[in-house]
Amino acid sequence: NAGVTQTPKFQVLKTGQSMTLQCAQDMNHNSMYWYRQDPGMGLRLIYYSASEGTTDKGEVPNGYNVSRLNKREFSLRLESAAPSQTSVYFCASSDFQDSTEAFFGQGTRLTVV
């Protein structure tokens, strides 16, 4: 049982480049989330999808877009990467809309130079 799978695990981008972070879960969860983790800042919610077909902004959505492709997959896109987006990105899923007891992927370490 893979749980939540994120790809890629590491990525280096130049300023202005675009990329999409992929996330898939095999637990049949309705809700999925994207967080970023920065030193001393904990985990901050970027976007979430309460159910298939819906997406909403979280705490720090600027510079990102998301797509809930189907129930399993939730992708995060950076259209024009900036150094401030250097971070570790985590995808999570949960069985409850209120994100209690979310299960996390292993993370994507992104560096923008």
Partner 1 sequence: GQQLNQSPQSMFIQEGEDVSMNCTSSSIFNTWLWYKQDPGEGPVLLIALYKAGELTSNGRLTAQFGITRKDSFLNISASIPSDVGIYFCAGQRSNEKLTFGTGTRLTIIP
Contact 47, 57 (CB under 8 A): yes
74 contacts partner 1 (rule: CB under 8 A):
no
* Smallest distance, partner 1 to C-beta of residue 15, A: 26
d(CA 91, CA 101): 13
- The pair of structure tokens assigned to 94 is 């949960």
Beta carbon nearer to partner 1, 14 or 39: 39
56 C-beta neighbours (distance < 10 Å), count = 11
95 contacts partner 1 (rule: CB under 8 A):
no
Residue 81, judged by CB atoms within 10 A of its CB (0-12, 13-18, 19+), counts as buried
How many residues touch partner 1 under the rule CB under 8 A: the total is 25
Task: Give the x-and-dash track for 30-69 against partner 1 (CB under 8 A).
Answer: ---x-x----xxxxxx--x---------xxx---------
Beta carbon nearer to partner 1, 12 or 41: 41
Of these, 76, 81, 92, 110, which contacts partner 1 (CB under 8 A)? 92
CA distance readout (Å), 81 to 19, 20, 53, 64, 93: 8, 11, 26, 9, 25
Using CB under 8 A as the criterion, which residues of the chain lie in contact with partner 1 when the complex forms? 4, 33, 35, 40-45, 48, 58-60, 90, 92, 98-107
